[in-house]
Amino acid sequence: MDLDAITKYSALHAKPDGLVLQYGTAGFRTKAEHLDHVMFRMGLLAVLRSKQTKSTIGVMVTASHNPEEDNGVKLVDPLGEMLAPSWEEHATCLANAEEQDMPRVLMDISVKAAVNLQQDAFVVIGRDTRPSSEKLSQSVIDGVTVLEGQFHDYGLLTTPQLHYMVYCRNTSGQYGKATIEGYCQKLSKAFTELTKQAFCSGDEYRSLKVDCANGIGALKLREMEHYISQELSVQLLNDGTKGKLNHLCGADFVKSHQKPPQGMEMKPNERCCSFDGDADRIVYYYLDVDGHFHLIDGDKIATLISSFLKELLLEIGESLNIGVVQTAYANGSSTRYLEEVMKVPVYCTKTGVKHLHHKAQEFDIGVYFEANGHGTVLFSKAAEIRIKQLAKELEDKKRKAAKMLENVIDLFNQAAGDAISDMLVIEAILTLKGLTVQQWDALYMDLPNRQLKVKVADRQVISTTDAERQVVTPPGLQEAINDLVKKYKLSRAFVRPSGTEDIVRVYAEADSQENADSLAHAVSLAVFQLAGGVGEPPQPVSCPY
């Protein structure tokens, strides 16, 4: 390791004084102008991680659903999964090291993690469409090259596509070809095969409006479009040609404001969906004949998919164990429907895709979606082999069901939640089951809910337990929440600190929207008073519809 060269290059990517950042579930995120040193250092870290794992490592430059002026970076581990927790700590130490200490911290990480510095390293890099992303990804490349790592810069990619590329490269192409063409071919072939099984496929040409959040999803869905145009017509809106990334559009906006994005003209009962800024989340929605807006979030997506998979397993008579993993944000009605009607076991984990992904790996078939629309389905290697075997051995209807399961395996991006992949799965299932968007929505009625944010001086004053459903500190806050919840029917509420900024997130649900709003506001005030709120106290919620 040439420490002199590292010191020299590092001075060109100097760390601003006093800036402290934490590597969280989403990696590092902050204002783009504060990230140059972090990008350079994550290039260095990716080389060390690659040497240690003897594998290709990914670096994605994105801030997902954050405003356009923000940016961020996250590392992708060998099988397309999130960075290992011990390396998240290394990332935080390295990003926060003062300039003069940086080479020593780098050596410390090499020793602690037993990195063989003679080992070759290979890093792949992707970026979203933010104005700052190209320059910041060049800083990553500077970090990779100063440690003599090899790299491939994919340029513009969705976050899930980078996860896919890493997974492909580390499985010698068994998972797929590590190119955009390979990605499009794999997903479109499975989608075409699956939709061919529909009885009514010739009767109705399906079309879908897609809000691309003025982000990378628009470019990549355009590339996918000609592969799937026989089965599905997609109309792209907020495609980045004029609007700002994530501004009044995208999955996060639609989910949190419970209204359509700007620029989306909707006819009654027309199927519409929104991606987020880096296309790893998707939510669906429609207007009913009275003009009321209906959101179909990650909970209903998980319900549709897990019900379909359960039906196929019953058809082939195979007892593979299927489980749905949710967070505390999952609507109470979805949990009851899955457990009581579909008889599918449901498990709750802490918020954050790494917790859901980890739990989902415990099943033959693990379905996980956060309410925000981020999720996928994981098939164990044993389940995958068994299903592919059955698709060859069984006859007639059973063989058809096994073949459909095989297509579903290929259609899901098992490395990460992927809005494009999830969209194709949903469209295929709706076609196969002959379901309209209203019929899907009517599987169960969501309890009205509200999410709010409270600014605090220090988010670390709040600690939680029971998959973030109960507050441990500060004292008295959980008791206050319990007392407020008792005032409303079918109600629950919880609070949790943000992983990236000094805010506390509040969730409440109740028997009516008015009560959910009222409960959320009351809980927000309790947080403000007991957990060191800053600025103006929370104001009552004004309902957008």
**Has residue 204 got a pLDDT over 70?**
no
201 is catalytic: no
297 is in an annotated binding site: no
Which residues are 505's β-sheet partners? 453, 496
399 is in an annotated binding site: no
Residue 478: phi and psi, rounded to 5, are -65, -40
Distance CA 545, CA 542 (A): 9
Among 32, 506, 417, 541, which Cα is nearest to 245's? 32
Among 302, 303, 306, 268, which Cα is nearest to 285's? 268
Catalytic residue among 10, 64, 307, 333: 64
496 is in an annotated binding site: yes
pLDDT tens digits for range 454-496: 999 999 999 999 999 999 999 999 999 999 999 999 999 999 9
In the block, residue with structure tokens 């499985």: 171
Tell me what the mean pLDDT of segment 515-541 comes to: 96
Check the CA dihedral 332-271-442-368 and report its sign: negative
Label the pairing between strands 150-156 and 206-211: unpaired
498 is in an annotated binding site: yes
pLDDT tens digits for range 59-99: 999 999 999 999 999 999 999 999 999 999 999 999 999 99
**Has residue 543 got a pLDDT over 80?**
no
396 is in an annotated binding site: no
Which of the 8 DSSP states describes residue 252?
H
**Count of alpha carbons within 13 angstroms of residue 381, beta-carbon side:** 3
Dig out the tokens for 184 from the structure. Answer: 């499009």
Tell me what the mean pLDDT of segment 296-309 comes to: 96
Q: Is there a contact between 50 and 122 (Cβ–Cβ < 8 Å)?
A: yes
Which residues are 506's β-sheet partners? 452, 495
Which of the 8 DSSP states describes residue 353?
H
55 is in an annotated binding site: no
Q: Is there a contact between 309 and 377 (Cβ–Cβ < 8 Å)?
A: yes
In this prediction, residue 199 has a pLDDT band, given cuts at 50, 70 and 90, of low
For the chain, what is the mean pLDDT? 94
- Terminal CA-CA length for the chain: 60
The percent of the chain in helix, strand and coil, each rounded to the nearest 5, is: 45, 20, 35
500 is in an annotated binding site: yes
pTM above 0.85, yes or no: yes
Q: Is there a contact between 490 and 509 (Cβ–Cβ < 8 Å)?
A: yes
371 is in an annotated binding site: yes
Q: Is there a contact between 119 and 150 (Cβ–Cβ < 8 Å)?
A: no
Query: What is the DSSP secondary-structure string of 296-319?
Result: E-HHHHHHHHHHHHHHHHHHHT--
Dig out the tokens for 28 from the structure. Answer: 């590092």
250 is in an annotated binding site: no
298 is in an annotated binding site: no
pLDDT tens digits for range 118-177: 999 999 999 999 999 999 999 999 999 999 999 999 999 999 999 999 999 999 999 999
Buried b / exposed e over 40-51, threshold 16 CB at 10 Å, is bbbbbbbbbbbb
